[in-house]
A and B are shown apart, each in its own frame.
Chain A
Amino acid sequence: MSEPIRVYALSTCIHCKRAKEFLDQCGVEYTPVHLDWMTGQERTDALTEMKQHNPAQSFPTILIGNTVIVGFKKEEIEKALGREPSAS
């Protein structure tokens, strides 16, 4: 059973897009949480949840199990997934 992955993202953010593409390439399942598509209480709740992991409120904020990765950092994602770093 692999660890749950959540990606707090913006639909317009290039780093978020690249991070999601990379997770797709890794063949892992994840839940994207697009805050710019949300309004009202749903957005407030998602932002509060994200701030607990990344007080800077920057995107993407990626949760892989208990590991928090701020920004699209390929090596950190691979490490959190327990994979060997790929050649970049």
Chain B
Amino acid sequence: MTPEQLCETLRKIQEPKGYFFNKDKEMVLELMASLLANKERHGYMVCPCRLASGDRDQDKDIICPCVYREPDVKEYGSCYCGLYVSQDWNEERIPHEYVPERRAPA
């Protein structure tokens, strides 16, 4: 699967749920490539911006879309890695703030 194909597959699933890809297409495709690299490496698409343990059970909360996406998009308009954003974020109706890590450290 190519990053473009993954992007289109995920778009169809996530947009109806109110989660949109970042309008920075280059960044989105880089993140898609990273998700595919993580799938190759670990067998599942763990968040590219988090350190995977390699154990699916330990990593289940950070498999993309991670469980922190909902509260992050609600509070900041963007998920931690910036892949998924709200429409307001993409249309610059809300400030683009740094999203701090919500996951408790190991």
Give the contact-size bracket for chain B. 10 to 19
Whether the Cβ atoms of B101 and A13 lie closer than 8 Å is: no
Please tell me if B66 contacts chain A, counting CB pairs below 8 Å: no
Q: Is the interface of B mostly helix, strand, loop or mixed?
A: loop
Please tell me if B16 contacts chain A, counting CB pairs below 8 Å: no
Whether the Cβ atoms of B106 and A10 lie closer than 8 Å is: no
Whether the Cβ atoms of A36 and B98 lie closer than 8 Å is: no
**Which A residues are in CB contact (< 8 Å) with B100?**
56, 58, 70-71
Please tell me if A35 contacts chain B, counting CB pairs below 8 Å: yes
**Which A residues are in CB contact (< 8 Å) with B49?**
10, 12-16, 58-59
Whether the Cβ atoms of B105 and A14 lie closer than 8 Å is: no
**The residue from B30, B48, B105 contacting A10, defined by CB atoms under 8 A apart:** B48
Whether the Cβ atoms of B106 and A57 lie closer than 8 Å is: yes
**Which A residues are in CB contact (< 8 Å) with B38?**
12
The answer to whether A10 and B98 touch (CB under 8 A), given A17-B30, A56-B105, A57-B106, is no
Whether the Cβ atoms of B27 and A59 lie closer than 8 Å is: no
Nearest 7 pairs of A and B residues by beta carbon: A12-B34, A12-B48, A58-B101, A13-B49, A57-B105, A56-B101, A71-B98
A59 to chain B minimum Cβ distance, whole angstroms, is 6
Residue in B closest to A51 when the chains form the complex, CB atoms = B105
A21-51 interface with B by 8 A CB criterion? 35-36, 47, 51
Residue in A closest to B81 when the chains form the complex, CB atoms = A14
Residue in B closest to A57 when the chains form the complex, CB atoms = B105
B41 to chain A minimum Cβ distance, whole angstroms, is 8
B68-103 interface with A by 8 A CB criterion? 81-82, 98, 100-101
Whether the Cβ atoms of B52 and A14 lie closer than 8 Å is: no
**Given A10-B50, A12-B48, A58-B49: 5 more A-B contacts, CB < 8 Å:** A10-B49, A14-B49, A17-B30, A56-B101, A57-B101
